[in-house]
């Protein structure tokens, strides 16, 4: 089967992890895969090519493509005769599905990852757009049940929506370096607690909640080391906030690190402070490393984090509750260890890459919805 994948994001993040792992897995299952990605991500094109995937890089922005890019995309579909086009991300979904339909694509699939947007004022307009574009889409893959239910409530036919959670290759987590070595590599003191978060420094991830929570944690545990791995538009603002609080010795902004999951072995607790999500890879990776997690209870996060079993869930913006749960885990290593073990078991049971690939392939070959 000849498959064209396309997505948009400005910098590598969970979306890249998803499309790379899906594309490589499909190649290993005998499919011919090409990927269209924004020229902003040219630096990670090798991750696809190393897996035998053709890469087409086009200039594109969040909700605008140059005319030349649109023409190139339409011509690509018309002349390459792909069996299907799979569009990833809300931004690409707005433009690419219409263009794919215009180009006469045989079948169009769509994975939005999340069904929330940053500006709530435009949420109703977005819902209407998703409803209309669903008519051009054979199947929509929701990464969590709660978002699937929301799309159906918008009027999108239930038979068009399949729930296929994100999945990870668990074997890569079996032979990571030990905590001491990972701390030393990151410039951290292995004798002191480490609280880690991985993700873009963007409004979605709510780094302000992380900073406020960190301040509260450090009042009780002054030796704690709070680490954020990732880059993004709020990096400079967060860095200024750390200085304003006088916490430069305790809060470490490490920027983007390739294969950030390898750093998670250094952590005692991994957190997520997002205002909205789908099924975040950072939580899956933390749990695959047998780490307890503290996350906001948004979208698919309660499907990943079993509250009080594999970690703790808190309300959006609840920095005090977040800090209390982090401190509870730091004060009770046995609880943290048992939650970490339970998290690994949960990921093995529900979020493997193999299962994700099988479900996607099942829908691709026309065997109906994934269950």
Task: Centre a 10 Å sphere on the Cβ of residue 125 and count the other Cβ atoms it contains.
Answer: 11
**In angstroms, what CA-CA distances link 332 with 183, 292, 328, 335?**
21, 11, 6, 5
pLDDT band at 123 (very low <50, low <70, confident <90, very high): confident
Query: How far apart are alpha carbons 318 and 337 in whole angstroms?
Result: 24
Using left for φ > 0, alpha for ψ between -120 and 50, and beta otherwise, residue 229 falls in beta
Q: Who wins on pLDDT, 42 or 194?
A: 194
pLDDT value for 11: 84
**pLDDT surpasses 70 at 302:** yes
Which range (118-127, 147-156, 188-197, 302-311) has the least confidence?
118-127
What is the phi/psi pair of residue 233, to 5°? -65, -20
Do domains 2-167+352-364 and 171-350 share one topology? The answer is: yes
Residue 274 pLDDT: 97
Report the pLDDT value the prediction gives residue 63, as an integer from 0 to 100.
83
Residue 20 has pLDDT above 90, yes or no: yes
**Average pLDDT of the chain?**
95
The domain defined by 171-350 folds into: Rossmann fold (3.40.50)
Average pLDDT of the segment spanning 342-361? 97
**Residue 120 has what pLDDT?**
76
Predicted pLDDT at 210 = 97
Q: What is the pLDDT of residue 361?
A: 96
What pLDDT score was predicted for residue 171?
94
pLDDT 10s digits, 46-92: 999 999 999 999 999 988 999 999 999 999 999 999 999 999 999 99
- What percent of the chain has pLDDT above 90? 90
The pLDDT, as a whole number, for residue 248 is: 93
Q: Give the rounded distance of the alpha carbon of 293 from its chain centre.
A: 16
Segment 326-355 shows an average pLDDT of: 97
- Looking at residue 116, its pLDDT comes to 84
Q: What is the mean pLDDT of residues 176-198?
A: 97
pLDDT digits (tens, 9 = 90+) for 109-121: 999 988 887 777 8
Which residue blocks in the chain are alpha helix, DSSP H?
14-28, 45-49, 67-80, 90-102, 123-133, 145-153, 179-186, 207-220, 235-245, 281-288, 301-304, 319-331, 333-350, 353-364
pLDDT of residue 15: 86
> What would the pLDDT profile of 211-245 be if each residue is shown by its tens digit?
999 999 999 999 999 999 999 999 999 999 999 99
371 pLDDT more than 60: no
- Select 2-167+352-364's CATH number: 3.40.640.10, 3.40.47.10, 3.20.20.140, 3.40.50.2000: 3.40.50.2000
In percent, how much of the chain has pLDDT > 70?
A: 98
Closest CA to 111 of 157, 165, 153: 165
d(CA 149, CA 172): 33
- Average pLDDT, integer, range 306-332: 98
**pLDDT for 253:** 97
The pLDDT value recorded for residue 370 is: 61
Structural domain boundaries of the chain? 2-167+352-364, 171-350
Please state, in angstroms and rounded to a whole number, the distance separating the CA atoms of residues 106 and 345.
40
């Amino acid at each position: 089967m000849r498959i064209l994948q396309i997505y948009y994001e400005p910098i590598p993040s969970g979306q890249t992890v998803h499309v790379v792992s899906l594309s490589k897995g499909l190649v290993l299952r005998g499919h011919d895969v090409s990927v269209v990605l924004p020229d902003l991500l040219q630096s990670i094109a090798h991750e696809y090519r190393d897996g035998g995937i053709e890469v087409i890089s086009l200039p594109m922005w969040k909700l605008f493509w140059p005319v030349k890019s649109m023409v190139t995309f339409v011509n690509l579909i018309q002349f390459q005769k792909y069996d299907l086009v799979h569009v990833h991300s809300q931004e690409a979904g707005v433009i690419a599905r219409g263009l794919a339909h215009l180009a006469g694509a045989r079948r169009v699939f769509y994975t939005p990852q999340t069904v929330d947007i940053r500006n709530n004022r435009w949420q109703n307009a977005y819902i209407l757009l998703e409803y209309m574009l669903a008519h051009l889409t054979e199947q929509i893959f929701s990464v969590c049940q709660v978002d699937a239910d929301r799309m159906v409530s918008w009027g999108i036919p239930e038979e068009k929506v399949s729930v296929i959670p994100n999945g990870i290759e668990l074997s890569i987590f079996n032979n990571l370096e030990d905590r001491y070595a990972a701390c030393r590599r990151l410039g951290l003191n292995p004798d002191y607690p480490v609280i880690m978060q991985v993700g873009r420094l963007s409004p979605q991830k709510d780094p302000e909640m992380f900073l406020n929570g960190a301040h509260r944690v450090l009042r009780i545990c002054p030796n704690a080391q709070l680490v954020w791995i990732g880059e993004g538009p709020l990096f400079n603002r967060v860095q200024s906030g750390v200085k304003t609080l006088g916490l430069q010795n305790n809060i470490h902004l490490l920027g983007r690190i390739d294969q950030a999951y390898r750093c998670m072995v250094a952590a005692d607790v991994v957190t997520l402070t997002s205002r909205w999500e789908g099924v975040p890879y950072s939580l899956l990776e933390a749990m695959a490393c047998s780490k307890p997690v503290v996350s906001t209870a948004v979208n698919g996060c309660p499907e990943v984090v079993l509250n009080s079993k594999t970690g703790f869930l808190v309300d959006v913006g609840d920095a005090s509750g977040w800090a209390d749960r982090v401190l509870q885990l730091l004060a009770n290593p046995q609880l943290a260890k048992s939650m970490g073990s339970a998290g690994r078991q949960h990921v093995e049971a529900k979020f493997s890459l193999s299962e994700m690939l099988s479900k996607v392939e099942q829908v691709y070959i026309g065997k109906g919805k994934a269950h």
